Every structure is written in C-alpha cells, then in structure tokens.
Structure 1
Amino acid sequence: MTDDPMSVPDTAPLCGIPWGICPEHGPTLAASAGRSRCTFPGCGRRWPYDRLDAPCAELATRRITDRAGASITACAVHAAEAGQMIDGAAVEPLERP
C-alpha cells in the first residue's frame, strides 16, 4: 500500500464525489456561462466546461469511510476535505492492484 497518488494506475476509477474541484486547491471553483476557473490567487486554471456542477474527473486515490461504515472512493483533494468535514471519517489510500 502506498500514499503516493502518482502510483495509482490510470485505470483506477474516477473520484466518486458528484462535484468538481481544482485538483490543486480544492473547493475554489467558480462557474459562469458553461465554463469554470479556480479562484485561488495565482492559480489561473480554467476549464471549458462547468467543472463545479460535473462529477469529479480526478482519479480516485483514497477511500473515505464514515462512522456507519459507508464508504466511497475519492481523489486526494476531496478525501482531504472529507477528512476535515466529516466527523469520524477514516481516509485511507487505495491499495495498488
């Protein structure tokens, strides 16, 4: 098992969270006229579609499990956010095949 998201093969599933993020800065997106951009100062990333209201397009590298035992796979950024926002959430790296 590894904590390095770069070691997850590109055949891994996509993040299971139904909204997008900036892959570097997290929940910092703004969308307008069918396009989106990261609002983090100095980022400059832009997408030609509404990434905020689309399912996350990043590779799943973590598993988030809540206290009830329900789990979902997520990208590293969504997993870090969930670990801070969901009381009792366990975040673990996905195992390599």
Structure 2
Amino acid sequence: MIKIENSQSGRGSNASGNFVRILHEDGTMGVYLHLMRGSVSVREGQRVSVGTALARSGNTGNSTGPHLHFVVQRNSGHELVSIPYEFARPVQSLPNFAVGGN
C-alpha cells in the first residue's frame, strides 16, 4: 500500500475522490478510485494480499454515481501511464460487493 485518501466527501477538491493506490510486485500500481468516505480499511505502508477488503465503492470526486473506477498504472519518466489489463476471472463470477448489495 503506498497511498490512500479517505476523507473526501462529494465532489471535493480531488477529481479521483477517495482512493487506494497499491504497488504490485512487478512495479505496476493498482488504483481504486471514487471510494466511499471513511470506508478505506487499509493503511499506508501495509502489505495486502489478494482478497483483502480495501474499501467500499462510493461516489466521491468527479463521479456521477456510485461505482469503482479501477486502473493499472506504471511510472514512465515523470508521469503515470495507464496500461491495459484483463481480469483473471470473469466479473460475473465475483461476489457482489456493491454498497447495499448481497
């Protein structure tokens, strides 16, 4: 875990809203954005494993409705570059962790 924001409500001052940024072993970073205020359950510097609950999806930052915005990035010089990825399991096979969902 390298960075979190957990206190923004509504649009706030950051378009990303509340977020969690995780550094992967291959040097890429997974970023989870627009998270519910106060729901981040991990802390900066914490090592997390696959399956660790990070936070709840929300509607913070530049967002028009509750959802999880996920991106994989890598450092390229002085900027972050988004890189393509594929989920190992189809999204339909994952549990429903939506706010208010089962």
TM-score using structure 2 length: 0.26
TM-score using structure 1 length: 0.27
- Quick check: which one's strand share is greater? 2
Q: Which has the higher contact order (CA 8 A, sep 6+)?
A: 1
- Quick check: which one's helix share is greater? 1
